[in-house]
């Protein structure tokens, strides 16, 4: 007759397993779970970080929709996301396709296009402010040479957000490398068979490259969405922390959240903003994952 499990041995293995994962558990509880649930609680309170929080119910959430700067910051963030996400995806994928070609010196080209993504953000911002300076910048000097009046770029209401989008394209080297790795994992036999069947370059790209690369595209799109929704450093550095620089054209959501939390000490209000951003991000991610079943191809699933 088969003996039952050795209870002390199971308990010992369970204890050892918990000890091994305890650093992760402690870190998760201390730096993720607790701040998340604390933010939800504080969003229903009037809290300044010093006095005890006072329960106010949905007052903070109601105030959000009557706050014009909240609407402006949300619009600017969504505007940036709508344009930056597809442009950066197309630019990174296009560069990866070019750098995947068998040409002499491609390692050098790959390095050149990747270097901007490892330059510190503050340094990149200062470089762009210098290059796009309306009075003394290189770009406007070149435009003046061909008798074109250069815009105000970061210092213009009309051009400030497009300028930040151009700055975002400067750092596409990181997703480019990921796309390049995905391209090199596609079996060459697929292209050879398609060429034998008479498929042209466009049809091979559409019916082989894109489907085989779709999981990588989904991964990069998720990373870019998170970066766009949490856009902060570039606008804060370039506009010097003022409310939106030219007008409120570059006043982004996380900037406004930062101002409410750390300048005005409205921690309850900023917690409501943070949780609202989490809800918006979660909805977008759920819709993205639900739609991915129609356009993402996994080879393991046939």
Residue 236: which residues within 8 A CB-CB, separation 6 or more? 255, 258
- Provide the residue-wise pLDDT of the chain in tens; the chain has 302 residues: 455 557 788 888 888 888 999 999 999 999 999 999 999 999 999 999 889 999 999 999 999 999 999 999 999 999 999 999 999 999 999 999 999 988 888 889 899 999 988 889 899 899 998 999 888 889 999 999 998 988 989 888 889 999 999 999 988 999 999 999 999 999 999 999 999 988 899 999 999 999 999 999 999 999 999 999 999 999 888 876 555 567 788 899 999 999 999 999 999 999 999 999 999 999 999 999 999 989 898 866 65
Helix 267-295 vs helix 210-229: crossing angle, to nearest 10: 170
With tokens 């409205």, the residue in question is: 266
Which domains, ranges and CATH numbers included, belong to the chain? 7-42 (no CATH), 60-301 (1.10.3720.10)
Report the b/e string of 44-75 with b at 16+ CB within 10 A: bbbbeeeeebeebeeebbeebeebeebebbbe
pTM for this predicted structure:
0.89
> Which helix (H) or strand (E) segment is 218 a member of?
helix 210-229
Task: Record the tokens describing residue 244, joined without a space.
Answer: 């939106």
């Amino acid at each position: 007759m088969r003996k039952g499990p050795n209870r002390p041995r199971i308990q010992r293995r369970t204890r050892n397993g918990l000890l091994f994962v305890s650093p992760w558990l402690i870190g998760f509880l201390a730096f993720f779970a607790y701040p998340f649930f604390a933010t939800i609680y504080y969003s229903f309170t009037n809290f300044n970080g010093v006095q005890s929080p006072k329960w106010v119910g949905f007052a903070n959430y109601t105030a959000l929709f009557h706050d014009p700067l909240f609407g402006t910051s949300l619009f600017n963030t969504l505007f940036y996301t709508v344009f930056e996400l597809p442009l950066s995806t197309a630019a990174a994928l296009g560069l990866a396709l070019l750098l995947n070609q068998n040409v002499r010196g491609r390692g050098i080209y790959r390095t050149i296009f990747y270097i901007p993504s490892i330059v510190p953000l503050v340094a990149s911002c200062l470089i762009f402010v210098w290059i796009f300076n309306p009075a003394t910048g290189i770009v406007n000097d070149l435009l003046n040479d061909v008798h074109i009046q250069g815009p105000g770029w970061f210092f213009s209401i009309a051009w400030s957000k497009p300028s930040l989008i151009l700055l975002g394209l400067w750092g596409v080297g990181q997703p480019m490398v990921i796309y390049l790795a995905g391209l090199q994992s596609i079996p060459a036999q697929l292209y050879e068979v398609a060429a034998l069947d008479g498929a042209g370059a466009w049809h091979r790209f559409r019916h082989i490259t894109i489907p085989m690369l779709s999981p990588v595209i989904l991964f990069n799109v998720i990373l870019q969405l998170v970066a766009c929704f949490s856009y902060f450093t570039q606008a804060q550095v370039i506009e010097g922390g003022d409310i939106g620089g030219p007008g409120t054209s570059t006043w982004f959501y996380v900037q406004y959240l930062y101002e409410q939390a750390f300048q005005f000490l409205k921690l309850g209000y900023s917690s409501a903003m943070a949780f609202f951003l989490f809800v918006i991000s979660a909805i977008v991610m759920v819709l993205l994952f639900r739609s991915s079943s129609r356009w993402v191809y996994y080879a393991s699933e046939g």
